[in-house]
Amino acid sequence: PEQSDRLVQARERLGDARTLLSTGSVSGVVMMAYTAAFQAAQAFIFDATQRTPKTHNGVHSKLHELNREQQRL
C-alpha cells in the first residue's frame, strides 16, 4: 500500500503543478514537481527495500546506493 499511496500522491502533485502552471506560479510549479519526483523516488525505493527514507538526503543516498549495487536506474 505505501508504494501505491506514494505514486498516487506523486500524480496528484503533478496535477497541482499543471494547475499552477496555468496561473503563472513558477515557484509553485517547481515545488509541486519536486514533491512529485520525491514521492515517486520514495515509491521506487520502497519497492526495492521495503523502507522509505523521509528526507531529501536519505532519498538521494538510497537512490545512489541502489544504482551502485543493482544498476536499477
CA distance 15 to 60: 24
* pLDDT at residue number 3: 86
Please check whether residue 13 is in contact with residue 35, taking contact to mean a CB–CB distance below 8 angstroms: yes
Q: Could you tell me the pTM of the whole model?
A: 0.85
Instruction: Give the model confidence (pLDDT) of 46-65 as tens digits.
Output: 999 999 999 999 999 999 99
* pLDDT at residue number 41: 96
Instruction: Give the model confidence (pLDDT) of 5-48 as tens digits.
Output: 999 999 999 999 999 999 999 999 999 999 999 999 999 999 99
CA distance 50 to 45: 7
* pLDDT at residue number 72: 62
